[in-house]
């Protein structure tokens, strides 16, 4: 079972509310350093450490933010992608990771198409493994950055809670291709553990009723296939893209935007205090309209990206410097 004190960081499933809160607190403490405007305490926590980013699926936010986080903490990075590596000659993910470990790196950050691929590496390697998204399984650093973005938003609206978690009794919708989404799975585990009510909304083929059993905790999960009715109830809404790379129903249905897109008309049905999130990459004009995505009052999409640097700093620091 993963915990805040684990050597690896593979999933949010199994973390307790206090462990999640501890990760959120550490990530929040890293936020002032995420832009590099304030220097991290000397000596730099990752001085002399070399981190390998093995990304066998494409990435903009996660790969760059792990690299930036490492450098902000004084560490060095080597990057390997599927393209240009010997994966193209048939070398497996595990053999690739074992070879990189044999070069003396201090940790491996891995993204791959195999659900459970990060656990596979963690079982075989001696260095810490950090899951940067494995198939449909989990994307735990994305989960922490999403929780942090929502918690900061709740603090802005309501102020911090003195007892219980800030998420208790709050209602958060995740909309779109849930079946194929590791982002949704990590978010659901974190939110339910922290006491939120999670509404999973999308077409029946992409949001199946078994998701109501995905996570157990103080919160709850509701599955639905109609968006308009839930909008006025929400404290936050996270839109997801259709994951065509995971053969999500063979394509985007022509009426997807009309049924499930966060259009300007739908955004006007949200409460004033509701935050709008999207993990990226955004398919503008499909799951979210331009003006909604770019609305600086409600949209937290770029705030999520900054929280991503802070979150990855927190994870790297705790796994490599604080233990
Ligand atoms: N949110 C996210 O994982 O984005 P990337 O695929 O660009 O890393």
Residue 173, phi then psi, degrees to nearest 5? -100, 140
CB atoms within 10 A of CB 310: 25
State yes or no: cis peptide before 43, omega within 30 of 0: yes
Taking CA atoms only, the protein residue closest to ligand 1 atom 4 is 61
Q: Is the CB of 59 under 6 A from ligand 1?
A: yes
Task: Say how many Å lie between the CA of residue 64 and the centre of ligand 1.
Answer: 9
CB atoms within 10 A of CB 140: 29
Q: Is the CB of 280 under 6 A from ligand 1?
A: yes
Taking CA atoms only, the protein residue closest to ligand 1 atom 3 is 62
Q: Are strands 197-201 and 107-112 parallel, antiparallel or unpaired?
A: unpaired
Give pLDDT, residue 164. 80
What is the pLDDT confidence band of residue 279, given thresholds at 50, 70 and 90? Answer: very high
Q: How far apart are CA 59 and CA 308, in angstroms?
A: 13
Compute the residue count for the chain: 323
Helices then strands, counting H and E runs in the chain, come out as 10, 9
Which residue in the block uniquely carries the two structure tokens 């980013």?
53
Taking CA atoms only, the protein residue closest to ligand 1 atom 6 is 59
Q: Which of 62, 65, 277 to mutate to test the pocket of ligand 1 (most atoms within 8 A of CB)?
A: 62
Q: For residue range 202-231, list pLDDT tens digits in order.
A: 999 999 999 999 998 999 999 999 999 999
Atom of ligand 1 nearest to the CA of 63: 8
Q: Is the CB of 208 under 6 A from ligand 1?
A: no
Distance, first Cα to last Cα, the chain: 18
Q: How far apart are CA 221 and CA 214, in angstroms?
A: 8
Give pLDDT, residue 170. 98
Taking CA atoms only, the protein residue closest to ligand 1 atom 1 is 279
Alpha helices of the chain — where are they, by DSSP H?
17-34, 61-72, 93-101, 117-124, 140-158, 182-193, 256-260, 264-267, 290-293, 301-320
pTM as predicted = 0.96
Atom of ligand 1 nearest to the CA of 64: 8
Task: Say how many Å lie between the CA of residue 57 and the centre of ligand 1.
Answer: 10
Q: How far apart are CA 134 and CA 138, in angstroms?
A: 6
Q: Which of 280, 300, 312 to mutate to test the pocket of ligand 1 (most atoms within 8 A of CB)?
A: 280
Q: For residue range 43-71, list pLDDT tens digits in order.
A: 899 999 999 999 999 999 999 999 999 99
Q: Are strands 220-224 and 129-134 parallel, antiparallel or unpaired?
A: unpaired
Give pLDDT, residue 3. 44
Q: Is the CB of 142 under 6 A from ligand 1?
A: yes
Helices 93-101 and 117-124 meet at what angle, rounded to 10?
40
Q: For residue range 71-114, list pLDDT tens digits in order.
A: 999 999 999 998 899 999 999 999 999 999 999 999 999 999 99
Q: Is the CB of 2 under 6 A from ligand 1?
A: no
Q: Is the CB of 65 under 6 A from ligand 1?
A: no
Give pLDDT, residue 5. 52
What is the pLDDT confidence band of residue 144, given thresholds at 50, 70 and 90? Answer: very high
Give pLDDT, residue 36. 80
Task: Say how many Å lie between the CA of residue 162 and the centre of ligand 1.
Answer: 34
Q: Is the CB of 61 under 6 A from ligand 1?
A: yes
Residue 275, phi then psi, degrees to nearest 5? -90, 145
Share of the chain above pLDDT 70, in %: 97
pLDDT value at 4 more than 80: no
Atom of ligand 1 nearest to the CA of 308: 1
């Amino acid at each position: 079972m993963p915990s805040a004190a684990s050597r690896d960081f593979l999933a949010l499933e199994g973390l307790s509310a206090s462990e999640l809160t501890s990760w959120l607190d550490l990530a929040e403490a890293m936020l002032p350093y995420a832009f590099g405007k304030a220097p991290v305490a000397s000596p730099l926590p990752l001085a002399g450490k070399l981190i390998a980013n093995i990304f066998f699926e494409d990435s903009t936010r996660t790969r760059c933010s792990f690299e930036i986080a490492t450098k902000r903490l004084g560490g060095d990075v080597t990057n390997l992608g599927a393209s240009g590596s010997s994966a193209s000659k048939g070398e497996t993910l595990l053999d690739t990771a074992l070879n990189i470990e044999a070069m003396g790196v201090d940790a491996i950050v891995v993204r791959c198409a195999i659900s459970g691929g990060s656990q596979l590496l963690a079982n075989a390697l001696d260095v810490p493994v950090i899951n940067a998204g494995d198939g449909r399984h989990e994307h735990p650093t994305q989960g922490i950055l999403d929780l942090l973005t929502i918690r900061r938003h709740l603090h802005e609206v309501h102020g911090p809670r003195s007892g219980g978690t800030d998420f208790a009794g709050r209602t958060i919708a995740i909309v779109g291709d849930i079946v194929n989404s590791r982002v949704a799975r990590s978010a659901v585990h974190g939110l339910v553990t922290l006491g939120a009510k999670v509404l999973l909304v999308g077409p029946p083929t992409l949001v199946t009723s078994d998701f109501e059993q995905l996570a157990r905790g103080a919160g709850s999960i509701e599955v639905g296939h109609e968006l308009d009715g839930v909008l006025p109830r929400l404290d936050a809404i996270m839109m997801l893209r259709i994951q065509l790379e995971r053969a999500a129903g063979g394509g985007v249905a022509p009426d997807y935007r009309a049924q499930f897109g966060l259009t300007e008309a739908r955004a006007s049905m949200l409460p004033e205090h509701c935050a709008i999130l999207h993990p990226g990459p955004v398919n503008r004009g499909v799951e979210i309209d331009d003006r909604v995505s770019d609305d600086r009052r409600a949209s937290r999409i770029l705030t999520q990206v900054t929280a991503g640097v802070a979150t990855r700093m927190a994870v790297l620091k705790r796994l490599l410097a604080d233990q």
